[in-house]
A and B are shown apart, each in its own frame.
Chain A
Amino acid sequence: MLPDMALDALLAIFGMALVTYAIRAGGLAVANRLPREGFVAAWMKHLPSAVLAALVAPALVNGGPDEWGAALVVVGLYVVSRNLLLAMVGGIVGIVLLRMLGLT
């Protein structure tokens, strides 16, 4: 048994590793049978953005004005600069400042 690792953590990590490798190798195995366009291809293409939206939306709705303000900073910085890292750092600086000011 690995140190400092509970059984459920072990199962979760090895399970993730297994399904992820199966997906990576599976693509090669079904290469000639997988549709390049059409419904299934479009569905798989849209999966990551839909999952990310499903994560962000409830977190934002459940947050307060500080979180909403910082989220606006993130979106604004990204639209202006197209720089992912800058937008992320800006959002974190934004939330720290908003909380320090304590306006809301």
Chain B
Amino acid sequence: MSEFSSYFWLGARRFIPVAISIAAYGLVWGMLAGQAGMSLIEVIAMSGLVYAGASQFVVLDLWEPGQIPVVSIIITAAIVNLRIVMMSASFRPVVGHLRPLPAYASMFLMSDEPWAMTMGEKLTGPKGFAFFLGTGFMCWSSWFVSTVIGRLAGGFLRNPEQFGLDFAFTATFLVLLLGMVKGRGDLVPIAIGGLVAIATARLVPGNWYIIAGGLAGSLAGAIVETRKGRAHVA
């Protein structure tokens, strides 16, 4: 076996436990997408081309067939996914040896888990690149296949309230949010983001409260964090 394929499959194998939990979320997303009125072809296109779970969950909340707010959906997706910039930016050691075309093409697979796992292995150059492609391949396939299965399975549910699936939205966001609380500093963006969103939802029609809360909360978090850093240095 060549070095490329051995590191590719090493990455793919290491990713299996993560792929299982991604698939669980994917099933839920697929069911919720059906409930939000997304057709099978739309689910296939979104999971296959966008391939960014957090933003796909958020956008479902805005999805109203017949009157889809295209601009606010695209802005919201961009805001939720902006963090990926930091991951690609740290990937020079892994793709720096490649010509621009394969390097940039491979960035399509960049996502939280493949990034974290490849960085964790401390593999660089061709080995790191093959490993990353293996994890990315598993990540993309588990997300794509599970969301499509979820959409197909969700189609059979006639009365989603009966199964608590309408609350699944809130429960999913709440759980994803709790998973992001790593320290006290993370509570500032959550509290400010939540409060600003509640106020904006009352005062401004439409779905702008998501963007307003997201921007206010993240800026507040950054202000508190950089202040603390400066005080620490002084």
The answer to whether A13 touches B49 (Cβ under 8 A) is yes
User: Smallest distance from the beta carbon of A44 to chain B beta carbons, Å?
Assistant: 5
Chain B CB within 10 A, most for which of A12, A30, A32, A52: A52
B213's contact among A32, A38, A53, by CB below 8 Å, is which? A53
Q: Does B74 contact A (CB under 8 A)?
A: yes
**Is there a chain B Cβ closer than 8 Å to A3's Cβ?**
yes
Listed residue (B92, B107, B216) with the most chain A CB atoms within 10 angstroms of its CB: B107
B214 CB within 8 Å of chain A? yes
Expressed in whole angstroms, the Cα–Cα distance for A4 and B228 within the complex equals: 52
- On whether the beta carbons of B83 and A44 are closer than 8 Å, the reply is yes
Chain A interface helix/strand/loop/mixed: helix
Selected contact of B197 from candidates A3, A9, A55, A92, CB within 8 Å? A55
Looking at the complex, which one of B74, B211, B214 makes contact with A16 (CB distance below 8 Å)? B74
Is there contact, CB below 8 Å, between B55 and A20?
A: yes
> By DSSP majority rule, is chain B's interface helix, strand, loop, or mixed?
helix
Contact in complex: A15, B41 (CB < 8 Å): no
Specify which chain B residues have a CB less than 8 angstroms from the CB of A87 in the assembled complex.
171, 175, 178
Query: A49–B41 contact, CB under 8 A?
Result: no
Contacts A19-B78, A23-B84 given; does A50 touch B216 at CB 8 Å: yes
Residues of B near A45 (CB, < 8 A) are 83, 86, 221-222
- Residues 61 to 104 of chain A near chain B (Cβ within 8 Å): 61, 63, 67, 70-71, 74-75, 78-79, 84-85, 87-88, 91-96, 99
Which of the residues B73, B91, B103 comes within 8 Å of A15, measured between beta carbons?
Answer: B73
Q: Write the B207-224 contact mask toward A (1 if CB under 8 angstroms, else 0).
A: 001111111111111110
A-contacting residues of B (Cβ < 8 Å)? 21, 24, 28, 38-42, 45-46, 49-52, 54-55, 58-59, 61, 63, 65-68, 70, 73-74, 76-92, 95, 103-104, 107-108, 110, 161-165, 167-181, 186, 188-198, 201, 209-223, 225-226, 229
Binding site for B on A (CB under 8 A): 2-6, 8-17, 19-21, 23-28, 30-32, 34, 37-61, 63, 67, 70-71, 74-75, 78-79, 84-85, 87-88, 91-96, 99
